[in-house]
Amino acid sequence: PRSRARIAGETGLTRGTVSSLVNELIDLHLLRETGEDERPGGVGRPAQTLELDDRVVAIGLEVNVDYLAVCVEDLTGAVRHERRVYTDNRRSSSGPVLTRLARMARRAVDEVEQEGLLAAGIAVALPGLVEVRTGTLLRAPNLGWSGIAIADELGRRIGPLPVRVENEANLAALAEQWQGAAQGLRS
């Protein structure tokens, strides 16, 4: 949590610019005012703190050789929904697997919407070589899949949310950097 003044001081932006940007982020439900004074008992007008809003969520999907998973997290990192279904995907063609995964994702989206949360998008972790720009799985040898437009396929099955596709190991490395053993490391 930080006040607008502190954000301006730490970023070098003017207070007016910070205030304008903060108001926009509040309107988008990405930030919220806590109602708490950053310096209780201080002199002058109280500096209200801002923090990440927990109403916007992201949907994470994973296809693995022996399970499908869905996880919904808000901007604070809190897990709002999680489900894993164990199944042998090595012997399945992509169509039925993606249909099951889309059904899991749709249930998660419906659940968070019933809670008044806003789903921002979907990220899909895949065990293979991925073309991120097009959302295409180029080759997943352990699944026996190749040349599948995963983002398009899931987008048709799930609905209007943007779908981003990435290699599972790359996403695992990011998770470790953001929340795990690699916090604070640059590489």
The two beta strands, 56-63 and 118-126, are: parallel
Write down the pLDDT at residue 42.
56
DSSP-H helix ranges across 34-167:
94-114, 150-158
Across the chain, which has 187 residues, the per-10-residue mean pLDDT values are: 89 94 93 75 69 94 97 93 96 94 96 94 97 97 96 95 96 88 84
pLDDT score for 186: 80
Q: What is the pTM of this model?
A: 0.84
Res 34: pLDDT = 87
For residue 126, list its beta bridge partners. Answer: 167
- Whole-angstrom Cα distance, residue 63 to residue 49? 40
**CA dist., res. 33 & res. 31, Å (int):** 7
What confidence score (pLDDT) does residue 45 get?
A: 64
- The CA distances from residue 28 to 113, 137, 152, 176, in Å, are 16, 32, 26, 28
pLDDT attached to residue 121: 96
| The token pair that represents 128 in the structure block | 């293979």
Strand order in the sheet with 31-37: 2-3, 48-52, 31-37
Q: Where are the alpha helices (DSSP H) in the chain?
A: 4-11, 15-27, 94-114, 150-158, 168-179
Instruction: Check residue 41 and give its pLDDT.
Output: 57
| CA dist., res. 100 & res. 63, Å (int) | 10
